[in-house]
Amino acid sequence: MIRSLHVWLWGIVAELEYQLYPWKTSDPPQDVAQKYNLEKDYSSNLHYDWLKAHDEKINKLEENVITVFKEIHKLHVELETYK
C-alpha cells in the first residue's frame, strides 16, 4: 500500500520536474531557444536577470523604508515628541 503510494507520488513529482525543467543540460535545445528568443549565452543572462530582479526588489524596499521613516518623523512632529 505505502509502496504503491510512494511510486504514484514519485511519478507526479517526476512529471512536474519534467514540465519545469524540460532539458537535461544547462543549455536549452535549439527549438526552445528559437521559440523564446534565448541568446546563446543563456546562463549569464539568467544570472543577470536574477540579479537585476533582486536589485529592483531591494530598491523598492529602500524606498518603502524611507517613506516609513518620513511618516514616523511626521507623527513625532505632530505629537511634539521629536527631540
Confidence of residue 65 (pLDDT cuts 50, 70, 90): very high
Give SS3 for 9.
Answer: helix
Do 4 and 19 belong together in one domain? yes
What local confidence, expressed as pLDDT, does residue 71 receive?
93
Tell me: do 22 and 58 sit in the same domain. Answer: no
Dist CA 80 CA 69 (whole Å): 16
- The domain total for the chain is 2
**Same domain, yes or no: 25 and 45:** no
Q: Assess whether 45 and 82 both reside in one domain.
A: yes
Same domain, yes or no, for 29 and 49? no
Query: H-helix or E-strand containing 20?
Result: helix 2-20
Residue range 4-38, pLDDT digits in tens:
888 888 988 888 887 777 677 767 777 777 776 76
**Domain span including residue 28:** 1-38
What distance separates the 2 farthest-apart alpha carbons in the chain? 70
Q: How long a stretch of residues is the chain?
A: 83
Contact yes or no for 42/33 (Cβ under 8 A): yes
